[in-house]
A and B are shown apart, each in its own frame.
Chain A
Amino acid sequence: MKAAPFDYVRASSAEAAVEALRGGGVALAGGQSLIPLLNARSRRPRVVVDVSRLPLTRIEQDGPALALGALTRLRAAETSPVVRRTVPLLAEALTHVGHVSVRNRGTVGGSVAHADPAAELPAVLLALDAVFSVLGPDGTRVVAARDFFLGRHRTALAAGELLTGIRVPLPPSTARHGLAELSRRPDDLAITAVFTSVVLADGVVADARIAVAGAGPTPIRAGAAENLLRGRAPTPDVLAAAADAAAAATDPVDDVHAPAAYRRDMAAVLTRRALREAVAG
């Protein structure tokens, strides 16, 4: 199908984009999620505000955090030595986001704002306690990842707000990560995926972060599973108990890709695999 007609505004600045978005426009970044929806007429905005040429493309370490401009292309972030060095879990997660052709165009901010519950980036940023900079008519505000994802394709972004940047606190140098993803083909959208970061000290889990994608209306942070791991040696029994706790935190639905019960079972299996990978270092 072809998109319904719309007005097109190429934003010359972030402020101009916000001004154009206030009237009910939709922001177009890399277009890898939005344009298929326009073509299918699932979305029929009056105005499309093209923000893809705005210079929000920084990738750099900024004190104790990795700073990413919202319009950083997924492929640029994935292949960046800075990302690989500072937040290796993020770099590895990015290799699973769509196919290379999609990552060449798609942006980190676009993936976050699209808020697909099965997408890798929202889940991994939730695991890493990222914070998002949001520009609106009254200036910039900061929203934590755990307050950002409100539902399926629903975020804390209000009409007239533009996601401009992402800050990822650097994990300690002793952190190890593991991820496990189930999908039909390499690089397809996940059926279910799990992202973990674990810090071990003297053979005991000092800190653990676990986020699950594709098992609820938003990515899910498995807090009970994290608490269960803290202060314990990561024995197979402890990892299995944490995996069950992570699965219990999910809220999947039946859809064409998988039944809810299967997604919940896979959340346990994938959590166990991801944790095993993390603690094996």
Chain B
Amino acid sequence: MRITVTVNGRTRSADCEPRRTLADFLRYDLGLTGVHVGCEQGACGSCTVLLDGATARSCCVLAVQADGSDITTVEGMATTSLSPLQESFRRHHALQCGFCTPGMLAVATELLRDNPEPTEAEIRTAIAGNLCRCTGYHAIVTAIAAAARGGDGGSPPSPPEA
């Protein structure tokens, strides 16, 4: 089936099988390798993109369902320089292997748009559906909180109670 989507501001058309997930379509058919395919069952959040302005796990959307949609992947977040959120991730060492990072950036983008001054608890809830196996989340929370404050260095939040 032929589908047409707007990805990162560009109109793209391609043929795909109905069973093709949006994640595989973006990654393998359109070459957007920032879409990280982890669990393929909606558990890890790594493939999260913005679909018509709202986050979606692209492994849980068929590409044919997204026909006509507007999609932003991590490739569309930065222009010539990093976005303020990405810059905050870099400054606060909020990634190690980077596998979860595109998904984390997507949910954090949505969070800060809907709730520009989130509490630490709200940040933790927002990223609870995205698994990170490297950082223990601490630096990610710090980076999102700092981005919400306008990207200052800031002091990191205190560690969670055991």
Q: Which residues of A contact B (CB under 8 A)?
A: 1-8, 10, 28, 31-32, 35-36, 38-40, 48, 50, 52, 75, 98-102, 104-105, 185-188
User: Given A50-B65, A102-B42, do A75 and B59 touch, yes or no (CB 8 Å)?
Assistant: no
Q: Is the CB of B60 within 8 A of A105?
A: yes
Quote the shortest CB–CB distance from A65 to chain B (angstroms).
28
Q: Summarize B's interface: helix, strand, loop or mixed.
A: mixed
Q: Is the CB of B128 within 8 A of A35?
A: no
Q: Which of B40, B59, B65 has the most CB of A within 10 A?
A: B65
B64 sits at the interface (CB 8 A):
yes
Q: For the complex of A and B, list the 3 residue pairs with the smallest distance between their C-beta atoms, beginning with the closest.
A: A99-B129, A8-B18, A36-B41
The interface residues of chain B lying within 8 Å CB-to-CB of A105 are 51, 56-57, 60-61
The interface residues of chain A lying within 8 Å CB-to-CB of B125 are 186-187
Contact pick for B48, options A3, A6, A101, A187, CB 8 Å: A101
A243 to B57 CA separation, bound complex (whole angstroms): 38
User: Given A5-B17, A8-B1, A99-B128, do A35 and B54 touch, yes or no (CB 8 Å)?
Assistant: no
The interface residues of chain A lying within 8 Å CB-to-CB of B126 are 100
Residue of B nearest to A37 (CB): B41
A48 to B56 CA separation, bound complex (whole angstroms): 20
Residue of B nearest to A75 (CB): B54
The interface residues of chain B lying within 8 Å CB-to-CB of A10 are 64
Interface residues of B in 83-113 (CB under 8 A from A): 106-107, 110-111
The interface residues of chain A lying within 8 Å CB-to-CB of B61 are 31, 35, 105
A104 to B106 CA separation, bound complex (whole angstroms): 13
Contact pick for A32, options B40, B60, B64, CB 8 Å: B60
The interface residues of chain B lying within 8 Å CB-to-CB of A40 are 40-41
User: Given A36-B41, A39-B41, A40-B41, do A101 and B65 touch, yes or no (CB 8 Å)?
Assistant: no
Q: Is the CB of A102 within 8 A of B40?
A: no
Quote the shortest CB–CB distance from B25 to chain A (angstroms).
12
User: Given A38-B19, A102-B57, A187-B128, do A50 and B45 touch, yes or no (CB 8 Å)?
Assistant: no
The interface residues of chain B lying within 8 Å CB-to-CB of A75 are 54
Q: Is the CB of A28 within 8 A of B60?
A: no
The interface residues of chain A lying within 8 Å CB-to-CB of B27 are none
Interface residues of B in 20-60 (CB under 8 A from A): 21, 24, 40-43, 45, 48, 51, 54-57, 59-60
